Amino acid sequence: MTNLLPALSVLFAVVATAVPWGLPADATFILPLVVVMMVFCWRAIPGSALHPAGAAGLGLLADLMSGGPLGYWALMCLIAATVGRRAGTLKESQDVGIHWLIWTVLVSLLGVFGWLLASLYYFRWIDWWPIALGAAASVALFPVVLYGLLWVRHGRVGLARNTLFRGAS
């Protein structure tokens, strides 16, 4: 079950992106970028198992649910998975700050790449403002998501489960 935790949490986030929250038109990039950020974080957390194929599959599911170009979010998730794995090897004593910086650079590049790709796809310049807003929001949300995932993986969830098992025995 622990091995499935990363994929399940990202799947939950993908479904959440499709739910009608009633967000304004400019905020549509925020939730999909949180999915990409989760893929990055899971790949950066040592010991967690989120295969690149799984990341691409979940991205593809996001594409299907959004009705957008197939392969777009799959590609984004795949890039995040690749960079996330490499991010763990940058240096010793890395901390959240360094991962945050890496994510800031990555999401900026992903934003520009995504904007160019989408503009090429539709043969017209896509409005860049929602992408920039989504990227900025994802940078601001990074520590929350990262600590949230660490909490899910190593935190009280495990302790609570152990307590429950002890109580049962």
Partner 1 sequence: MRERASPLFRRHRPSWTAPVELLSFGLYFLCAVLLVLSRIGHGAINEARNGLVDLSAPMLELASVPAIEARRALERAELYMAAFDEVDRLKKENEELKQWEWRTKLLERKVAHLRSLLNAVEEPALVYATGRVIADARGPFVRSALINLGRRDGLRIGYAVINGDGLVGRTVDAGHSVARVLLLNDLNSRIPVLVGPAGVRGLASGDNSAELQLDFLPEGATLYPDDEVYTSGSDGVLPRGLRVGVVTGSPGAYKVRPYAELNSLDAVSVLFFDAPALTRADPPEASDGIGALSAAPVAAQETETASAGLPMTVVPAPTGEQAQAER
> Alpha-carbon distance 129 to 26, whole Å?
7
Comparison of 141 and 150: residue with beta carbon closer to partner 1: 150
Interface with partner 1 (CB under 8 A), residue from 37, 60, 80, 139: 60
Other Cβ atoms less than 10 A from the Cβ of 41: the count is 27
Cβ at position 155, least distance to partner 1 in Å? 11
Alpha helices per DSSP H over the chain:
5-18, 30-44, 52-66, 72-87, 96-122, 129-154, 156-168
Using rule CB under 8 A, residue 6 touches partner 1: no
End-to-end CA distance of the chain: 20
Give the tokens for residue 72.
């777009």
Nearest distance, CB of residue 166 and partner 1, angstroms: 24
167 counts as binding partner 1 under rule CB under 8 A: no
51 φψ region: left (φ > 0), alpha (ψ -120 to 50), beta (else): beta
CB of 4 to partner 1, least distance (A): 17
Closer CB to partner 1, 95 or 169, in the complex: 95
How many residues sit in the footprint of partner 1 (CB under 8 A)?
A: 61
* Region 91-110 residues binding partner 1, contact defined as CB under 8 A: 92-96, 99
Tokens for 49? 């198992």
Amino acid at 153: R
**Interacting residue ranges for partner 1, rule: CB under 8 A:** 15-16, 18-26, 28-29, 32, 44-47, 52-53, 56, 60, 63-75, 78, 82, 85-86, 88-89, 92-96, 99, 114, 117-118, 121-122, 124, 126-127, 130-131, 134, 150, 153-154
